[in-house]
Amino acid sequence: MLIANILLKSIVLPGAPVLFHVLLVIPTSIAAFAGLLGFIQLRLGLRESRILNFVIFAPLFAGLYGVGRMVGNSFAISWIQVGILFAISVFLLAFTAYLTKRVSKERIVTTIN
C-alpha cells in the first residue's frame, strides 16, 4: 500500500475485507498453528515432532500460497475468502484448545524441567 501511495501520489486504502483479514484472520491463524505446534511438542517431545511439524507446515504454506493465488495481483479479497479462512483458523484454535485440556499437568511440568 505504501508503494502504491507513493507511485500514484494519492491515498490508496484497503477494503474492509483486507483490513479484517490482516487484523483478525492472520493473528488467529498464527495463534492456532503456534498452539498446535506447542501441543505436539509437549505431547511427543522434540525428536518425534519433526515429521509432524512438516505435516502442519506443509498445509499452512499451501494454504497461504492458495490465498495468494486467489487474490492475484490486487489488494482485493472477498468476504467469502476471508470468512472461510477465519472459520478454519477458529476451528483450529478451538481444536487446539480442546487438545490442550487433555494434557496432564504432570506432563507439562516434566517437559519444562
Residue spans of the domains in the chain: they are 14-112
pLDDT tens digits along 27-79: 998 899 888 888 877 777 666 667 776 777 777 778 777 766 666 566 567 89
What gap in Å lies between CA 25 and CA 23, rounded to an integer?
Answer: 6
The torsion angle over the Cα atoms of residues 66, 11, 79 and 36, rounded to 10 degrees, is 50
Mean pLDDT over 88-92 rounds to 93
Q: Which among 77-81, 93-97, 104-108 has the top mean pLDDT?
A: 93-97
Query: What letter would DSSP give residue 45?
Result: -
For the record, the C-alpha cell of 101 comes out as 485440556
pLDDT of residue 86: 93
pTM to 2 decimal places: 0.68
pLDDT greater than 70 at residue 91: yes
Share of the chain above pLDDT 90, in %: 16
